Each structure stands twice: as C-alpha cells, then as structure tokens.
C-alpha cells in the first residue's frame, strides 16, 4: 500500500508535484487565476466557445427547460430529448449513421475498448496515446501491445504477428500536436483484419476544411475508421464526449459499455448548449482560419528566435524543456510575466521530455502571440537551438 506522505515528498523532490490553480472567471484567453489577470496559452478552448454569449444563453435556456441535472442514467430516465437531438447532430457532423453521448472522453474510451476487446484479444496502440486509451485496454483484460510513436513498419509487423482485433490511436496527439498517419493506419488495419479506432479529441472542430477533424484532413471515411471518438469540452467549449459509428456499433455500446450504462447522464442543459456550440463551429469557419494564422505566426516567430518547437501545425505547440525542473522554472518565469502556460511533466509525458504545452484559441490576437514570443525568448536555457539538455541532473 502506498504511503501518502512519502509519495508526496517524492513528487516534490522530483519536481513532479502538481497544484491546482483557482479560476475566478469564465474560461477565456484573459482569465483571472488565483486573483490575478493572466494571458493564457494552456486551454483546450480552441474555437473560443466556452464563454461565447450564445452558448452561455443556451445553457441558461437548457436549465430552464430541463433543470440542472439529468437525475438518472440514460437507460433509466436520464436520456433527454436534448441528448437525443445532440446525438443526431453529431452523427450528421461526423458523417456517421449514429452517435452516442458519454459523460467524459475518458469514459467513452473505456467503454468502447472494454466492450470490443477482452481476454484473449490483442490491442495495438501508439506509445504516445492518451492514458484513457491505454486504460481502456487494461480494463477489458485484453493484451496491450504498444508500438513506437507513428512507427507504421512496427505496427504492420505486429498486426501480422499478433492477429490483433483492434488498433487504437489518437488523431491529434494531445501533448505533441502531431497527426496520426490515418491512411497508413487504415491500411495496416485492413491488412491485419483489425478494427481501427481513432480518438480525435483535439482534431474535431479544428482540423479539416470544414472542421470535421483528422478524417476529413486525410480524406478517409467510415470504412477506413469504423470507430470515431470525440470530446465536447475542447473545440466545442462545453463538456462530455461521444462515439460515432454504425448502427450496430452504437447499439452494442448501449447494451454493453459499463461506462455508459452505469453512470448518470450528462446534464441535458449542457447537451442543449452544445447543440448551439456545434452550430457556431459549423457556421463560423473564421475561427479555424484565425487559429491557423496564429499558429503560422507563432511558428515563424519561434524560428526567428531559435526556439526549438515540436513538429506540429495544430494549435498544440510543445516547447521541450527535457527535465521536469526546467519546465517548471519556465512556467513560473512566464507566470511572473503575466502569461500562463502549464508545465507538462512525467508521467503525462515520457521521462526526459517535460515541456511547455502552448495552445492557441481563436480568441487570441496577433499581439498576444508576439507578447508570448518575446517572453519565451527571455527564458533561461542552456541549449536554445537543440531543445532540452536531457543529461542534466535534477538538483
């Protein structure tokens, strides 16, 4: 059994202790954090919809129509018309026959993977997948084999060796911002007779000409990727998640996914607000265009200043520090300058790859990007050009 005091002491010593900040305003690019106005670059509110007046008004309207909570699981009395309408919208948005709401993205991944694969089955997963994909495989008792990040040669060999039933991958990797190679993943799945599941939490609403995510970006369809997972608390600014797929897949999840069956349904007022957010994401493509402009400006400015960024053209821009103490020092230095960028440390990322995870919102302006660039250029670091000095010992 873990000793709480000893474990907390270890986390502090290794610069891995995490503390919660108190947000005293709506989620936005200029929030009040711990009583102080900040310029934030660490939210997943990519389209700037979390505090959009139309979405807030829809949430109020939904509370008036449906109350504050759902009061029960979907299969009891908790499945509201607001839930049902949003599922139909999400199915249309993703181009799938049906969609199924879950209370969180974590629960969606647990439910899908543990339903489709169990003891005796093998699941193949990218080593940098989100933890919920890994935990879903373990929950169902399947054998989990992880291949090196984006290594399609290794994946193809594992498909042939293991006879895997399911391949799971992030669409946009949440800590690196790079894209899964969907055409190659789909080919590996077809060749091996496996199902392909993509969690496009950070792509839907942002990636693709119409914001339909990484599948639209690569021009692949339901036949290539039969299982699509998305979240509502990132680009769409609200809360919850969904799975989109065939009629049979959705019905199977309704009957067997424990994380759907045995939990209270999402508040219907949130579903009502999400319908408005989804409409805005579709009607206002300028938000995606603004994001793309900001990312280009940031990456151009970073190159000019010799900042070693990861390989990403998405709103997720990692600046690798290497050691946890350095990422934390960088974050605190930015905070002193009134800029909020969270330090991401192990176990969220592998040892030696602690970082600042910089994210952009359509609500940011070009002046905000320039202010961030100037602050980053002032950060103390021994090896600006080549990224982190992973050999340095933690003090």
The number of beta carbons lying within 10 Å of the beta carbon of residue 274 is 31
* Longest Cα–Cα distance in the chain: 59
Write down the catalytic residue from 43, 103, 132, 174: 174
| Bridge partners for 339 per DSSP | 39
Strands 166-170 and 122-126: parallel
217 phi, psi to nearest 5 deg: -55, -45
Write down the catalytic residue from 130, 202, 217, 364: 202
Write down the catalytic residue from 79, 165, 217, 234: 234
- Rounded Cα distance, 139 and 159, in Å: 21
202 is catalytic: yes
The number of beta carbons lying within 10 Å of the beta carbon of residue 376 is 25
- Rounded Cα distance, 330 and 357, in Å: 11
Annotated catalytic residues are 174, 202, 234
């Amino acid at each position: 059994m873990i000793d709480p005091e000893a474990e907390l002491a270890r986390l502090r010593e290794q610069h891995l202790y995490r503390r919660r900040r108190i947000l005293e305003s709506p989620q936005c690019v200029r929030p009040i954090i711990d009583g102080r106005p900040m310029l934030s670059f660490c939210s997943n509110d990519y389209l700037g919809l979390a505090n959009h007046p139309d979405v807030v008004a829809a949430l109020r309207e939904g509370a008036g129509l449906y109350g504050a909570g759902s009061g029960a699981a979907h299969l009891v009395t908790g499945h509201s018309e607001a839930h049902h309408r949003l599922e139909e919208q999400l199915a249309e948005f993703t181009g799938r026959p049906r969609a199924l709401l879950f209370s969180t993205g974590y629960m969606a991944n647990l439910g899908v993977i543990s339903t489709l694969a169990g003891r005796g089955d093998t699941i193949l997963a990218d080593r940098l997948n989100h933890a919920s994909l890994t935990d879903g495989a373990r929950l169902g008792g399947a054998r989990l084999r992880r291949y090196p990040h984006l290594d399609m040669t290794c994946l193809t060999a594992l498909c042939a060796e293991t006879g895997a039933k399911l391949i799971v991958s992030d669409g946009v990797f949440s800590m690196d911002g790079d894209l899964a190679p969907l055409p190659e993943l789909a080919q590996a799945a077809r060749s091996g007779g496996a199902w392909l599941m993509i969690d496009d939490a950070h792509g839907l609403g942002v990636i693709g000409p119409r914001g339909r995510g990484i599948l639209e970006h690569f021009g692949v369809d339901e036949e290539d990727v039969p299982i699509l997972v998305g979240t509502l608390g990132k680009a769409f600014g609200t809360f919850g998640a969904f799975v989109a797929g065939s009629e049979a897949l959705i019905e199977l999840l309704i009957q067997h996914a424990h994380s759907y069956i045995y939990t209270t349904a999402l508040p219907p007022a949130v579903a009502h607000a999400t319908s408005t957010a989804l409409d805005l994401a579709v009607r206002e493509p300028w938000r995606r265009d603004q994001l793309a402009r900001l990312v280009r400006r940031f990456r151009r400015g970073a190159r000019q200043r010799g900042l070693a960024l990861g390989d990403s053209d998405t709103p997720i821009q990692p600046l690798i520090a290497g050691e946890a103490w350095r990422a934390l020092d960088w974050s605190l230095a930015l905070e002193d300058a009134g800029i909020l960028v969270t330090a991401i440390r192990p176990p969220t990322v592998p040892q030696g790859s602690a970082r600042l995870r910089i994210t952009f919102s359509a609500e940011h302006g070009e002046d905000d990007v320039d202010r961030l660039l100037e602050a980053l250029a002032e950060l103390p670091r021994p090896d600006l050009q080549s990224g982190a000095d992973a050999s340095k010992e933690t003090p």
